Chains A and B, each alone.
Chain A
Amino acid sequence: MQVPSQWEVSFLAKSHLRLDDGMGPVLEVKWQQVRGVFSHKNHLKKLARHSRSVSGVNFQQTSLPEEWRQALRHFETQCFEWQGKKINGKGVILYCPASQQASLLQFYRQRGVDGSQVQLGVLESLQDQCEQDMIRWSLFGLNALIPKSFDLARYRFEPGHYQLEFKKPPECIDLERWAPADLLLKTSDLRHWFKHRCKQLTWCKLTAIREQNYHGRPALYGESGESNSLARRFWARLSRKSPNVWFRIWHLSSQNQILGVAARSSKTLDTSVLEKICAHYDMA
């Protein structure tokens, strides 16, 4: 899905996304894998019931606008509208029988503002399934490719530190970003900062940390030993720590940031995938 560049993520969860344009919410998307038969009618009823609980909101089912029909031709659709005191909404419930994925999209709009062209552009770019092995994650300047099979488990966007955690049990991949690097590394080098000052990725600090040059950038690299012996796995289970750990942290001086990719698993990690993630991980 492609949205105007001024729209920013204001809420993100495993199957829920909300975008703001600085004035308020503009788009909300929810999605879910459906098991069994999907009923638009039931979902509309749920939405109507929910809207009735909010005073002053008038919810109604509508027919799909003609201009949206072409953009949403691959889906079974059901359109709806609601009017609040200050803001209106127009949305659609989508179901793709091929992927058995149901989605709900709703555009928020201020009274008297026409955003039909922008809405159409968003709907035309909508895809509920990805043909490639890797999915691009792009938000708050962060750009990364993550294997399709991994789900977003946790995220943090705090001033100075971003973290996205993806999971495909028993594997877990962390994307990290720290800034501003010139302040963080003012009194120490990358290794010292990571070992003694950085409060995140503590589970990586147990591995042997090596300094390396990653595409001309100062970097730290660490990997747990190759041996995956029974005793080691047993100890890892007892101590509740993943025996296989891999990480790389590098200083992106052109952007004044420190980036990091870390992975842990009870099984052997596929380092080629992790190298690919590192190669495509960047900040705008």
Chain B
Amino acid sequence: MADSVAPLLDVQNLHTHFRTRAGVVKAVDGISFDVAPGASLGIVGESGSGKTVTSLSIMRLVEPPGFVAAGRILFRGQDMVGLSEREIRRIRGSQICLVFQDPMTALNPVYTVGAQVAEALLAHQDMDRATARERVIELFQLVGIAAPERRVDEYPHKLSGGMRQRVTIAMALANEPQLLILDEPTTALDVTIQAQILDLVRGLRQRVNTAVLLITHDIGVVTELCEQVVVMYGGRIMERGTVAQVTADPKHPYTMGLLASMPTRAIRGQRLAAIGGAVPNPLRMPPGCPFQPRCLQAMDVCGADPGLRDPGDGRRVACWLY
């Protein structure tokens, strides 16, 4: 991660916790990463890793009983954690935008898609409705919606899943945000439609200089879209580096296990290298490394937090092996 350019987003030691009757769940437990202007970072993890809570924390969308317990989220140098609801609304939807997995959660079924995208424009920009409509048609063109003059007057239920996701991406791009957070943007879509959407986002990144933070469980999707990757497990960062480093030569035993679990033709007829056991109960996380109960290389020292270490090639690995 380049030091020369001031990061657009700089997450420092973020802790997001949830108070439950059974105790405090540390969904995000001290993570740090940054995204340079125009760069792309993928956060990969399985369910319960804390990846989605991370994106919600950045957007200040964590609701009680969840709260940011510690840490700073600097966006263009300004700490998002301390901002008032009014101030955050000026940033959310204009400078940082979020695209969710299920476009129907982001679209209101009783308004036309055109009206909803126009709403996003009118909330942050001074323009009249006719101009907004023109702009929406342009945005629909940009995201590859055919016959946009007609589509703007349609209701969400009339559109296919892929088309709806294009609408939410158009909405997210309406105010030319500096940071686009994509949370499992293609998980609900079929593979040929996923390819269309990934191709769209790649093309958009070349035309508009938006930084992308991609949250996903699918490393394959990260390789399509990102230069940098963070691997999360149990609310912590296990490994952080370039996509090429991490996928070609994973260093953390969890990353290695994850990549070895992927079924590929090269290992047809052989057993998959499954990671034994299951994700620990978030209320009873082990001390030190959260992965140690499932790790084949666990040592006595793993009961203590290894911190992020440099294995010698500039990346960061949270493991005592390095």
**Do A and B come together as binding partners?**
no
- Measuring CB to CB, which residues of chain B are less than 8 angstroms from any residue of chain A? none
A residues contacting B by CB (< 8 A) are none
